[in-house]
Each structure stands twice: as structure tokens, then as C-alpha cells.
Structure 1
Amino acid sequence: MADRIRMPAHAQAAYDDADRERWVPETGKRVGRTAFERDRARVLHSAALRRLAGKTQVVEPGESPPDGRQVPRTRLTHSLECGQIGRELGQALGCDPDLVEAACLAHDLGHPPFGHNGELALDRAAQPCGGFEGNAQSLRLLSRLEPKTFAETGPLAGRSVGLNLTRAGLDAVLKYPWPRHEGVRTYGVYEEDLEVFAWVRRDAPEGRRSLEAQVMDWSDDVAYSVHDFEDAVYSGRIDLDRLGAPGERAAVLALAADRYALAPEGELGEALDRLLATEFWPKGFDASRRAQARLKNTTSGLIGRLCLAAERETAAFFGPTPGVRYAADLLVPRAARLECAVLKALTAHYVMGRADLEDLRTRQRAIVTDLVAMLAAGAPDALDPALRPDYLAADTDAARLRVVVDQVASLTDDAAVILHRALDR
């Protein structure tokens, strides 16, 4: 039976049957939920989302400040917080809130163990099969690997189609809606998954992201820049008083200019000064209950500041209800992007840039590299039962290596360490 539509009148007209279509048609679903509510539920109940609880965000899962009262964020908590931010921002712009939230919850599903450090190692190991990219892996997981829906008839008969999300749902996850090609570092689809990619992108402007994907992307930036900053302040790794020292300030601004924003350091300094001048900027954090409350107000204030800037800029250009999908773009003022870049640089300088982490990162990369080699040598028996049929059906060395990469990418940080220890005996 058809999904019931429950959206504002303008949104009902904006999302058509093609937006709600699934790669493999489904029948017999109970009435009472919209197609996008169902997308959100499928992601929320997926094993892939649960695994994010054991995957690195900035510091390792389980690493806590000395007092043990606060646990740093993981990929799971980040995704949940990103979902809340994206839901509200998308709804304010007239997007379907369940559609945007589903994309936010799903955007990191393909990330491997050990964060971007693990992604770098896995990309190197996967070069013979076309490389590894966390965003492309997310699409692969949603449309192939996550066990939920199988095609029973037609050209895809007998094949898993993952969560079988709607066209608009998969498109909203596509942060980089193009395949890998020369000169491009980030991409959203592997060669093996071009068939579903072509279906998702039918009639979409080439290389252009949907409004929902843009909302997801900005919500992701806001969530991790603000929340990672909060974690770093709470843990004592950022001493805000040190920012007054010229050397410390210069180091942060240089990092922001080099890694997070193509902007002069002077302009980034103005962004930092604007943040320091806000009424909610944390000062003199001592971990007391009152200081913790002030820090949470900082988090709320920063999220509101960055999201409202985008909401107002977009509404000012496109009108109060900009439209959905490709009717509008999310416009984020330059000032807001630079403030976001400064927040990222603060965490990168004081947390991720710590010298004592380099030995750990080296070991993590070695674990990922070894796992690919050891699983490939022991395949198919060494692989998870769910992946063995894929390996046996593969007809080239590259295709078989891709299956091995699928397994390594799915591992949590702890599972990678444990499996490495078991295979290395």
C-alpha cells in the first residue's frame, strides 16, 4: 500500500513519486508512516548505526577525562547529534525533517575503524580495487551490504539491496555526488556501485548536491566542530586562557588557514575574535557544575549561531520556503564558515595534534593494513559468513579485494584490534 503523506502543503507538492521511489519496489507495508519516516526508521534500527558506537570520532571510544564523569563522543553520538541539528535546520527551510534526519544518521555509516587515520590506511590497501572512501562506502552499505531487503524478481533477483531507501533518501546522503576520477580526492561512489548511483541521480543536475544533502553536510560540520570543542574544553585539553598568548593564537590560525578554510589568517583572526566576544563563550572552566552548565550553553549558542546564519541567508535569497531537492541551495555566510573553521582548528591543534598520539596512529594504520592482507590470504573462510558468498561470486582479484575491504571497514576499533590479534597468532 502507498505510504501516507503527512507534510505541509508546500512539501507535499515538492516531493513527488520519483523522490519516494525505492530501487526495488515494496508492497504490503502498513499504512501510517511516510516513505521518509520509514527511511529514518531503517537507518536508526540498522546494525551499521549501532557499530558507530565503537568507532573513533576524535579520541578513541572509551577514552575519558581523568575524573571519569564524561565520555567523549563517538561516531554514533556525533551522528545522533547531527541528526537533531539537521532535522531542525531542514524543517525550517521546508525540507522533510525525517528525510534530512535519515541522511544525517547515515552519513558516517561507511567510515572504518580508527577514524580518518584508518580511512587513509584502508585507501592505500584498497588501491588495487579502486581505493577506499568513507562516503562511497556509506552508499555501498545502504544499497548493498546492510541486511534488510532482497530483490526477489527482475534483473536484481536474489541480490541484497541494503536498506532500500528512497531515491531522495539516498541522494541526501551523497555528500560528493560523483565517482572517483583523476584529480579528485573525495567521491561518493565506487565503480561497482554505479548502477544504483545512476538510479539515484536520475534527472539530477550533474555534480550538484540536493538541498537536503547540503543541509546534512553543514549540520555535520556544525555538530563536530562544536561538540568536539566542547569535549576538548571539558577534558582540559584546551586551556582557553592560552589563546591570549600570541604564539598559541598564531598556531591555531595558521592551522585553520592551511586545513579548514582558504582564507587569510587575519580574517580568521577576526572570526576568532567574534567567537571570543560572544556572551556564551566559556571562560575559566573549572569542571564545576556551574561551569559545566555554562559550557552546555556555549554549545547551544554556537549551534544556534551557525545554523541561524545559514537559515537566514538561504531564506533571504530564496524566500521563506526555498523549496526542496534542486529548487534551492543552502547558503552559508562566509563569516559562519570561518567561525566553524576556527572551532575545528582549536580541536585539531590541542587534541588531534598531540605528539603523544603519533605512535598510536602508526599502530592503527598497521593494524588496518595487516587486516586486509591477512583476511585476503585466509578468504573466504576468514571472512564473516555474510560476506563469503560475495567473495565466492567475485570474478576478479579486484572484486575479491573489495569484499575484504568491506569487512575491514565494518569493524569497530576494538573489533579490529581483537581480530588482528587472532589472525596474527
Structure 2
Amino acid sequence: MEYGSIDVERWAPEGAHSQARGPFERDRARVLHSSGLRRLGAKTQVLGPASNDFIRTRLTHTLEVAQIGRSLAKYMGADQDLVETACLCHDLGHPPFGHNGERALAEVSTAIGGFEGNAQTLRLITRLEPKRFFPDDRPAGMNLTRATVDATIKYPWGAGEGRRKFNVYEDDRDVFEWARLGNEGQCVEAQMMDLADDIGYSVHDVEDAVVRGHFSLESLRADSDRIVSATVGWYGGDSGRLSAAFERLFPLFPPTYSGSQRDLARLKDLTSTFIGRFLTAVTDASPQSARYTGGVIVPDDIADEILLLKGIAVTYVMAPRELEPTYLSQRSVLFDLVDALWDRPSEMEEMYLESYRRSGDDASKLRSIIDQVAALTDQSAMAWHARLCGMLRSPL
């Protein structure tokens, strides 16, 4: 795949760099050294990071997605550093408490365009992460190349454009348009990032749920109809095709899991089998293409299998958790923090306080507060809540 001077251009001008590293390799290094990536180590993936030493955090999920994405890039002729970097970026904008926290911040920011983890990722890599500035002292975030920024854009549209998920707030429309250059749809590297994420969490969330005891492997056969129904209810899909996907995947699961070293090894082999199965099918079906023509082709049967695995996590973890007091308490913590910082903005970290002070209206001030809360980890959100709001609710 060819990359030209436009693809490696950066949002803010920079001086000449050593030729020892290519532009996408440099992007990868910037993300690996970023504070945003480090924070993912203490943010919820599906199960909270404090719940078990084995459980994946946003950071371990991100590293696994990056490896899957790099494999896709290798097999499909894209730049491996570029795709890996997009994968490393893909969850940087997620707030404390995973998708639960995302929903809470979306609710409190409705009047200013909402909150979306992918839009927050774009904001972080192009504005909030402290690395580069424009000559007029405006922050430029990590100042990644145009191609890398574009590869992080999972949903190439903004808030209010007729879809629930989106990838840009109006405040950040200028850098979104700069990265997109008028192109429609995802570039092929963004498609690889998107698929790597789907494969990663579909497979690994099931592994975590087994290890954590949310379901037993012996129960899978008896629960097949329930799993299919939950999948359709949460994600959509065709129940007949999902039932067929279950029949294809069920024989691959080990019959039991006891927590022994042998059983852990079998479970790891299962995740490797699934990932290899999905990558092989996709790369066999996807001819090499230009960045905006052609793309990643996921065969229908593979798409159904990935969706079914996501549905297993829904059935045993995500849907039951919706009604747990802990889950409701997590949202309350973030609601309280936004209210507390609105009343006492001086409590924000200095970089977010600077942004707040530069704000010309209440909407911009609220966005700065949302930026601060979104940057917190699960643990720091709880600590801030204890300090600023008095009585500590314990969602973990």
C-alpha cells in the first residue's frame, strides 16, 4: 500500500526529524509513551481492574488489539506501524468504569453535543495529550500524522448526524476535516483497527468471564437459545444464523474449566484458535487495496461467529450487571464529580483548569470538566469522589 507526503503530514508544523525512524514508527512511539495510554492500565474493560489479577484492563485489551491489528496489516499489505498505532489509540478516550462511565458522561453532556469514547479519543490525540503545540500556543496533542489520525476514526461522522455513535465533537471539527480530506467511509487501516477491536473483545471477554466464574463451560449447550436471544436483543443479527454460528463454535470449547494450569492452557489455546480462525478467513477474503478503495471483507459466517462470542459476554456479564447496585453507583460517582467540579473548578488538574479558564462560555467550561473526569482512572475517580463529595460510594 502506498503512502505519500500528504499521509505523513502533521497537524502542527514540526522541525526536521532524524531519518532513523519513519513517521508512522514515530507515531507509535508517541502513543506508547503517552500518559493517556498509561491510564488505561487502571480503567475498566468489561470487568473492573480491581476485581481479579487475571482480568483484562483497557490497557491489556489495547495491547492485544494492537497485535491483532498488526497481523492484519502484515497480511493485507498496509503499514504495520500505522495500523498498530491506530489500535493503540482506539480506546484512549474511554472514561472511568468503561461503557458504563461513557453512558454517564453522555447523559450529563447532552446539551453540549454529548460524550462518545471515540470522539474523546480524537480530542485526546489531537488536543489534550501534552506533546506538541502550534506556533500560536494552541495545543496539538500528540501531533500524529494525518494517516494515523484518520486510521483512528471508527465512525467518520459527527454528533447529531443520525447515528448513536460518532467520532467528532463540533469543537474538533477542524482536525477531523484535516484528517479526512473529504474522503467518505473508513480508510482501510481504520477498518483493520475496527475489526481487530471486535475480534479482541469478542474472544478475550469470553475468556475473562470463564476465569472469573460468570458461567461454566458445561452450561453453554443448555444456554444456546438464551445466548442467541441475548445477542439479538443487544446487538441485532439473525437468530437462525447465530444458532448456526453457535453450532460451529461450540465443539471448539473445552468441556470443562477448573482453574488448573492445564485448563488455563486449554482456554488460552481456545482464544488463539478463534483469533487465527477469524484472521485467516478475513485475509483470505480481502484482496489488497488502496486506502479508500476496497477494504477489509469479513465473510458473513465469520461476522456471525464474532457477534455470537460478543453475545456470550452479554448473556453472562454485561446484561446481568445492568441492574447491579455497583453499576448504578459508578454512574452516580461521575455525575457527582461533574457537579463538584462545576462548583469548584479550581480542584481540576492544572492543564484542564487552563482550558477551563480559556473557555468563553458555559458549554466550553463544561467540556473542560468532562475532559478532566474522562481522563481519570477507576481508582482516581473514586478517590476524587471521596475528597470532593464526602461520602464514598464504592462501585468496585
Q: Distance in 1 between matches of 2:41 and 2:9?
A: 31
1:382 partnered with 2:339: no
Aligned-residue offset at 1:357? 6.0
Per the TM alignment, residue 183 of structure 1 is displaced from its structure 2 partner at its CA by 2.8
Is 1:292 aligned to residue 257 of structure 2? no
1:271 partner amino acid: A
Residues 261 and 341 in structure 1, CA contact (< 8 A), matched pair in contact too:
no
Q: In terms of mean alpha carbon deviation, does 129-138 or 283-292 score higher?
A: 283-292
- Equivalent residue, structure 2, for 1:274: 248
Find the counterpart in structure 1 of residue 70 from structure 2. Answer: 87
Distance (Å, rounded) in 1 between the aligned partners of 2:65 and 2:59: 10
Q: Relative to structure 1, is the Cα distance of residues 356 and 101 closer, same or farther in structure 2, using a 3 angstrom cutoff?
A: closer
Deviations 1:107-153 (A, max 9, x none): 0000000111111110010112111010000000000000000112x
Output the CA distance in 2 between the equivalents of 1:43 and 1:400. Answer: 27
Name the counterpart of 1:221. 198
The match for 2:210 is 233
1:211-360 alignment runs, 5 A limit: 211-245=188-222, 248-263=223-238, 265-278=239-252, 281-315=253-287, 322-354=288-320, 358-360=324-326
Task: Give, in whole Å, the separation in 1 of the partners of 2:6 and 2:189.
Answer: 16
Match of 1:105 in 2: 88
Change in CA separation of 1:235 and 1:103 when aligned onto 2, cut-off 3 Å:
same
Question: 2:236 and 2:193 mapped to 1: Cα distance?
Answer: 19
Which residue of 98, 106, 119 corresponds with 1:123? 106
- Please give the secondary structure, in 1, of the residue aligned with 2:327: helix
Report the equivalent of 1:407: 372
Distance in 2 between the 1:244 and 1:104 partners?
A: 34
**Residue 383 of structure 1, CA deviation:** 1.3
Q: Deviations over 1:3-55 (max 9, x none)?
A: xxxxxxxx3xx101000110112113222111000111111110000000111
* Aligned-pair CA distance for 1:285: 1.6
Q: Tell me the TM-score normalized by structure 2.
A: 0.96
1:94 touches 1:324 (CA, 8 Å); kept in 2?
Answer: no
Give the equivalent residue in structure 1 for 2:145: 166
Match status 1:38 vs 2:63: no
The amino acid across from 1:221 in the alignment is: D
Residue in 2 aligned with 1:77? 60
Give, in angstroms, the shift of residue 182 of structure 1: 4.7
The aligned counterpart of 1:67 is none
The one-letter amino acid of 1:329's match is G
How far 1:356 moved relative to its partner? 8.8
Q: Match for 1:270: what amino acid?
A: A
Over the aligned positions, Cα root-mean-square deviation in angstroms equals 1.3
Distance in 2 of aligned mates of 1:292 and 1:391: 49
Aligned residues of 2:224 and 2:246 also touching (Cα < 8 A): no
CA contact (8 A) 1:22 1:165 kept: yes
Of all paired residues, the percent bearing the same amino acid is 46
Structure 2: distance between partners of 1:227 and 1:243: 17
Q: Within 5 Å, give how 1:47-66 maps onto structure 2.
A: 47-64=35-52
- Please state whether the residue corresponding to 1:244 is helix, strand or coil: coil
In structure 1, runs of 5+ residues without a counterpart are 1-10, 65-69, 316-321
Measure, in 2, the Cα distance between the counterparts of 1:131 and 1:39.
Answer: 29
Report the equivalent of 1:18.
6
- Give the whole-Å Cα distance in 1 for the aligned partners of 2:134 and 2:322: 49
TM-score by length of 1: 0.89
SS at match of 1:187: coil
Cα distance per residue 1:74-111 (max 9 Å; x no partner): 00000000000000111110000000000000000000
Gaps of 5+ in 2: 391-396
The one-letter code of the counterpart of 2:234 is R
- Counterparts in 2 of 1:260 and 1:115: CA distance versus 1, 3 Å: same
Give the structure 2 partner of residue 318 of structure 1.
none
CA distance in 2, matches of 1:182, 1:290: 50
User: Following superposition of structure 1 onto structure 2, how do residues 142-153 of structure 1 map, counting pairs within 5 Å?
Assistant: 142-152=125-135
